[in-house]
Amino acid sequence: MNTPEIQIKDVSMIYNDNNGSSVTALEKVSLDIKQGEFISLLGPSGCGKTTLLRIIADLLQPTSGSVAVRNQTPRDIRMQKKYGIVFQSPVLYDWRTVRRNICMPMEIMGVPKKERTARINEMLELVGLQDFGYHYPFELSGGMQQRVGIARALALHPEILLMDEPFSALDEFTREKLNEDLLSIWRKTNKTVVFVTHNIPEAVFLSDRVVVLSPHPGRLSAIVDIDLPRPRDNKIRETPAFYEHVSKIRRSFEGV
């Protein structure tokens, strides 16, 4: 049996404030994630899904438990630049063109100019923004800005893509289109994706498995296999099988 790419064992996270009070964000969460898998962490606000993503990313240290990524620590993986991270906001620099926003992590890492140019062109084609490389962020729609954020996250060819509700601020039409685009990018790049969302249909559409977290404190409530055929397009959202998966996940929140 192959060793999982990401192994999360009994991870708990407790936040303490200056008044001596504490809040348990996660409680004994264990999860194995396979290489190339698309996993969604799903739950209502305050269930600890973003906290768990940040622990995987080495942006937070758990109070107890452990995370291993390819039998290394999250810190090791982060230092090797094997993570690509996409946040809720694309956090683009207004004074930089799309090309120069995508280029920024490569500049920091000292990637040679010729290689940077080739990778920028590759990323623009991957996210469908070939004609917008010399535009500035304020000239783009919200969905296009988020595509730039995805392109920048992939520019250093990471092996694991961590996404924290990247489409939550977008309208439903744009969101569904970007869901399709993300699956296309995932198929082409074969990354392992850990995707945080509170949107059940989005999680079903995207994922191989949906990990349901319960709120206060965040516990692993259910893991639901999504056996819908791939490749997927938005027509699948209208099928009985899709609705069955959505209903099954919704019942898992209710404890049915």
Contacts of 63 (CB under 8 A, 6+ apart): 12, 13, 14
- Is 46 within a domain? yes
164/65 same-domain check: yes
Claim to verify: residue 150 and residue 166 sit in the same structural domain: no
220-248 pLDDT per residue, tens:
999 999 999 999 999 999 999 999 999 99
In a shared domain, residues 151 and 217: no
Domain boundary among 157, 190, 212: 157
The pLDDT value recorded for residue 151 is 94
CB 188 within 8 A of CB 126: yes
Distance of CA 29 to the CA centre of its chain: 18
* pLDDT (tens digit per residue) in 68-118: 999 999 999 999 999 999 988 888 999 999 999 999 999 988 999 999 999
Residue 87 located in a structural domain:
no
For residue 245, give the H/E element and its range.
Answer: helix 240-254
User: Do 72 and 163 fall within a single domain?
Assistant: yes
- Tell me which DSSP letter residue 167 carries: T
For 74, the domain range is 6-82+158-254
The answer to whether residues 73 and 38 belong to one domain is yes
- Is residue 88 in some structural domain? no
What is the pTM for the complete model shown?
0.92
Check whether 152 has a pLDDT greater than 90: yes
CA distances from 205 to 39, 97, 238 (A): 11, 32, 11
